[in-house]
Amino acid sequence: MLGDTNQANEPGLARRLGLATATALVVGEVIGVGIFLTPAEMARTLGSPFWLLAVWLTMGASAIGGALCFGALAARYPEAGGLYVYLREAYGPRAAFLYGWLSLLVTDPGLTAMLAVGLANYAAHLAPLSVWQMRGVAVAAIVALAAVNMVGIAIGAGVLRVLAALKLGLLGFLVVWGFAMGRGDWSNLTPFWAQRPGSEPLAKALAGGLIMAFVSFGGWWDASKIAGEVRDPRRTLPRALMLGVSIVTVVYIAVSLVFLYLVPAERIASDKAFAALAGQALFGRTGEVVFASLVILSVAGSLAAVFLAFPRVYYAMARDGLFFASIAAVTPRRGTPTRAIAIQALLAASLAMTGTFEEILSYFMAPTLVFLALTLTAVFPLRSRWRRGAEPTDWEIPGYPISPWLFLVPVLAVIALQILRNPVRASIGLSVVALGVPVSAWVLAHRHTAETAPPLDLADRESVSTIGTNS
């Protein structure tokens, strides 16, 4: 059973994070620039407020099913690394290495660079910036938020919580102000049920809408990567994932409704124009500046979240002997894996300076989703193992077997659509993952587990504990 007195269950990383930080990570990473862009395309193609809400609610329910599974996995294996750990436990170190290989070399630095460059692009709305100046702003954002997380886990978590709270507060103000000032028109929401003339066929529109909604919801599962630093993970992480996903769903529905209320359907020409029109309706000529500032804050919160979560995968790989052992080092006073954070920052800054990452990253969406689906399927063999008594436990997956399928079905659907839409890109991305197979064979043959931070054995997992109050 999980206890509540021993703090040092994972050498090197102390359990200092509570429910507020874990929830802020979910909200901070998921709510980025997408909510300011996707409602326009979804509204245009679906042609009905009802179907727009239905798509958001469907994806929210799907994410809750996935959150139940990931929360259960994080509670059962409360180690740093998240998906890496669950793949290792279910399918062995080779599958875990291949996930880490993709995350380290492509996905994590690419996503970090994409967020930083997105922040810089919106900064250019506030002051004229050249291409190189925008790249400089992107690199500065990467360095600043990496430094915050290197200074100490308490400071990094504090910044994350503040940015998430500001983001939610401003979005809440946006919704209340938008409806209260009466600057929109309720007729923009009609017809509510039927599709407007000129909309795409419903089946095609729903497929596209679900993909956009899935992308907008992406990243909530990364909260599981800080499981090695969360107090009472058996209760905290499932609650944080459920709470975070629920907050995101409510925010997305509310913001989409206020945007539709403010902007007539016939004026929705493009994603960015849609946000600009909503800003103009709310704040007049200063609307673009206000919205640009809000997006910058929102993206900064996402950057803070990824710098807290992503480096824990490299730390876990090094701890298991699948990466340089020195990367598992944790600064004693700060409680942070500074070298793992530095690797992410260095690779992301390099991509942000070259400006070529977006095209590269597009090749790796399919393999990234394949690993996400594979991780979710881990609940099936692991649950079977637990029930056979191979790993005695009194713990179950809430909502099983419905909960895993709620999320697995849309993930598999998006993978299929990505492959069908661009099989060449998908095959190139999967080929790069395949290149990691011989590398994994060599690494596994020569690995030496880091002595400073060995992986948890079953006895350690069963004695995971808490101390203090939630932060």
Q: What is the pLDDT of residues 159-191, one digit of tens each?
A: 999 999 999 998 998 899 888 888 788 888 888
Q: Distance (Å, rounded) from C-alpha 214 to C-alpha 274? A: 20
* Burial of 392 from C-beta contacts in 10 A (0-12 / 13-18 / 19+): exposed
Q: Distance (Å, rounded) from C-alpha 95 to C-alpha 98? A: 5
Structure-block tokens of residue 105? 């070399």
Q: Average pLDDT for residues 31-37, to the nearest whole number?
A: 83
Q: What is the pLDDT of residue 222?
A: 94
| Host H or E run for residue 276 | helix 271-283
Would you say 255 and 40 are in contact if contact means Cβ atoms under 8 Å apart?
A: no
Q: Average pLDDT for residues 343-360, to the nearest whole number?
A: 84
Distance of CA 389 to the CA centre of its chain: 33
Q: Please give the backbone phi and psi of residue 333, each rounded to the nearest 5 degrees, phi first.
A: -70, -35
Give whichever of 24-28, 31-35, 189-193 has the largest mean pLDDT: 24-28
Would you say 230 and 22 are in contact if contact means Cβ atoms under 8 Å apart?
A: yes
Question: Quick one: which of 332, 325, 335, 342 has its CA closest to 453?
Answer: 325
DSSP 181: T
Q: Distance (Å, rounded) from C-alpha 301 to C-alpha 282? A: 24
Name the residue with higher pLDDT: 13 or 379: 379
Amino acid at 374: L
Q: What is the pLDDT of residue 9?
A: 41
Q: Average pLDDT for residues 284-311, to the nearest whole number?
A: 87
Q: Average pLDDT for residues 28-54, to the nearest whole number?
A: 87
pLDDT-derived band at 237 (thresholds 50, 70, 90) equals very high
pLDDT-derived band at 448 (thresholds 50, 70, 90) equals low
Place of tokens 């507060």: 169
Q: Average pLDDT for residues 137-157, to the nearest whole number?
A: 93
What is the CATH class of 19-458?
Answer: mainly alpha
What are the sequence ranges of the domains in the chain? 19-458
Name the least confident of 155-159, 238-242, 291-295: 291-295
Question: Quick one: which of 28, 80, 352 has its CA closest to 219?
Answer: 28
Q: What is the pLDDT of residue 41?
A: 82
Distance of CA 249 to the CA centre of its chain: 14
Residues 6 or more apart from 179 whose CB is under 8 A from it?
Answer: 258, 261
Would you say 374 and 164 are in contact if contact means Cβ atoms under 8 Å apart?
A: no
DSSP 224: G
Residue 198 has pLDDT above 80, yes or no: no
Torsion region of 183: left, alpha or beta (phi above 0 gives left; psi -120 to 50 gives alpha): alpha
Residues 6 or more apart from 1 whose CB is under 8 A from it?
Answer: 394, 462
124 HSE (CA, 13 A, CB side): 16
CA–CA distances in Å: residue 360 to residues 11, 138, 160, 425: 36, 18, 28, 9
Residue 284 has pLDDT above 80, yes or no: no
Q: Peptide bond preceding 401: is omega within 30 degrees of 0, i.e. cis?
A: yes
Residue 458 has pLDDT above 90, yes or no: no
159 HSE (CA, 13 A, CB side): 22
Question: Quick one: which of 426, 444, 423 has its CA closest to 434?
Answer: 426
Q: Distance (Å, rounded) from C-alpha 307 to C-alpha 389? A: 37
Q: CA torsion, points 358, 212, 247, 277, in degrees to nearest 10?
A: 90
Q: Distance (Å, rounded) from C-alpha 21 to C-alpha 156? A: 10
